[in-house]
Amino acid sequence: MGYFSQRKKHERANLILNITLTIIAVCTLLSFFDGSVSRFFDLLGFWRFHYYIITLAAFFYALSGSFFIHAAAALLLLTINYAAIASSANIFSNVAHEGTNRLTILYQNNARHVEPLVRDAEENNADIIAVNHRKVPAYLPENFGAYQLFHQEDDAGKSFILTKKTPLRAGKLRLTAERSASFLVFEEGGRNLIFVNVDFAGLKTAEEKTVFDNLTKFVLGQDEPLILIGDFGIPAWSKTFKDFLAKTELEVKNHIILSNGGSWFNLFSVPRINVLGYRNLGLENIDILSAHKGSHPFRFDLNF
């Protein structure tokens, strides 16, 4: 390749890195602005993990082309975004804990049919099935084989729980006029546990604070350990979520999941599905199972 061709290639790579890193730097800076000022700043914060991935690619691209100044700038942006994410979420690994008690949960977001999920639960020996349905089912039987349906006032709604365990109590948390969450309390390993299934998909900015404030009041009002699972509507590093974690002392146990249940993997999905618990709860592994008519179940193996 001739000198001028090499020079054009070098200039093109330099331009690509300049544009990419400048855009990422601006987005990173603006994402620290309070989302209550503008929904635009809030949306920038939602995509922080994607800034991290793009910057990581730019870093290696700069190194491979010996653009060391660009690599240094990319490394700085990586550090900033990593710190912002890691303050409340786990990027690559789950939170482990050495416990003797095991609990297997199957979680299905955007469910269309419950019966295939029950078959998966039986094959995986799941203790609990948490379901967030696309729409309120016209009819749900009280049981699916060994799994019993527990809900309140004969209304399962879009969010409900099936379990083999006999609960001490079960019901709904009314968080706003439009938002609720299913919960049940059961005994495991000589202690009572509270299991909560949330579905905050499509959460609006206007209701965000109220939903999490009311969920905070519920968590702080309980004496038993809690496990919260579901689509929280916003990523764990958003200000509202971070405030919720700080007030309740709950932790995100799972690594970032780039799926909303509608696909096995989606790079453009904002991570919103999480498992939360206190310090003595560990998450051993996460499996995304085969699809049932477009819906992918998640299997979570917990220990405590």
pLDDT at 154: 46
- Say if residues 46 and 39 touch (Cβ distance below 8 Å): no
Residue from 239, 250, 252 nearest 283 by CA: 252
Does residue 222 surpass a pLDDT of 50? yes
205 pLDDT tier (thresholds 50, 70, 90) = confident
Residue 134 has pLDDT above 90, yes or no: no
Q: Which residue has the tokens 């299934």?
A: 197
Q: Please write the tens of the pLDDT for every residue from 281-297.
A: 999 999 998 877 667 88
Same domain (yes/no): 277, 197: yes
Does residue 238 register a pLDDT over 50?
Answer: yes
User: 140 and 287 in one domain?
Assistant: yes
**106 and 75 within one domain:** no
Is residue 131 domain-resident? yes
Across the range 250-256, mean pLDDT stands at 97
Q: Are residues 111 and 222 in the same domain?
A: yes
**Domain extent at residue 234:** 102-303
Residue 95, strand partner residues? none
Pick the last residue of a domain from 43, 58, 86. Answer: 86
- Any domain includes 43: yes
% of the chain surpassing 70 pLDDT: 90
Q: Does residue 42 form part of some domain?
A: yes
How far is the CA of 300 from the CAs of 38, 56, 59, 217, 284, in angstroms?
36, 28, 33, 26, 8
Final residue in a domain of this structure, among 34, 52, 86: 86
Q: Do 140 and 239 sit in the same domain of this protein?
A: yes
What pLDDT was estimated at residue 35?
65
Note whether 170 and 281 are same-domain residues. Answer: yes
Tell whether 244 is covered by a domain: yes
Q: Between the ranges 52-61, 103-112, 138-147, 167-176, where is the mean pLDDT highest?
A: 52-61
Predicted pLDDT of residue 140: 65
Domain count along the chain: 2
Domain shared by 7 and 115, yes or no: no
In this prediction, residue 162 carries a pLDDT of: 84
Contact by Cβ (8 Å): 60, 265: no
Hey, which residues does 193 pair with through a beta bridge? Answer: 186
- The verdict on residue 205 lying in a domain is yes
Helix and strand totals (H; E) in the chain: 7, 13
DSSP state of 291: P
Sheet bearing 226-231, strands edge to edge: 169-174, 180-188, 191-199, 226-231, 273-277, 251-252
Structural contact between residues 217 and 202, judged by C-beta atoms closer than 8 angstroms: no
Per-residue pLDDT, 156: 47
**E strands along the chain, which residues?**
102-111, 128-133, 143-144, 147-150, 159-163, 169-174, 180-188, 191-199, 226-231, 251-252, 273-277, 282-288, 298-303
pLDDT of 54 over the 80 cut: yes
Phi, psi of 270 (to 5 degrees): -75, 125
| The last residue of a domain, from among 46, 61, 86 | 86
Q: What is the DSSP letter of 24?
A: H
Q: What is the pLDDT of residues 55-71, one digit of tens each?
A: 999 999 999 999 999 99
Inter-residue contact 224 to 153 (CB < 8 Å): no
Q: Identify whether residues 271 and 185 lie together within a single domain.
A: yes
250 in Cβ contact with 225 (< 8 Å): no
Question: Sorting pLDDT into bands at 50, 70 and 90, what band is 4?
Answer: low
Distance separating alpha carbons of residues 191 and 77, to the nearest angstrom: 45
Task: State how far the Cα of 116 lies from the Cα of 122, in Å rounded to an integer.
Answer: 10
Residue 110 belongs to domain with CATH number: 3.60.10.10
Please check whether residues 114 and 254 belong to one and the same domain.
yes
- Answer yes or no: is 107 within a domain: yes
One domain for residues 185 and 248? yes
The dihedral built from the CA positions of residue 189, 192, 196 and 197, taken in this order, carries a sign that is positive
Residues 156, 282, single domain; the answer is yes
Only one residue has tokens 């003797």, namely: 100
Q: What does the pLDDT average to over 171-177? A: 88
The answer to whether position 37 is within a domain reads yes
Residues 155 and 272 in one domain: yes
Interatomic CA distance for residues 297 and 120, integer angstroms = 9
Average pLDDT over the chain reads: 87
**Both tokens assigned to 300:** 């979570």
* Highest mean pLDDT, choosing among 2-16, 23-37, 222-236: 222-236
Residue 151 has what pLDDT?
59
Q: Out of 100-109, 118-127, 143-152, which region has the weakest mean confidence (pLDDT)? A: 143-152
Please indicate, yes or no, if residue 10 is contained in any of the structural domains: yes
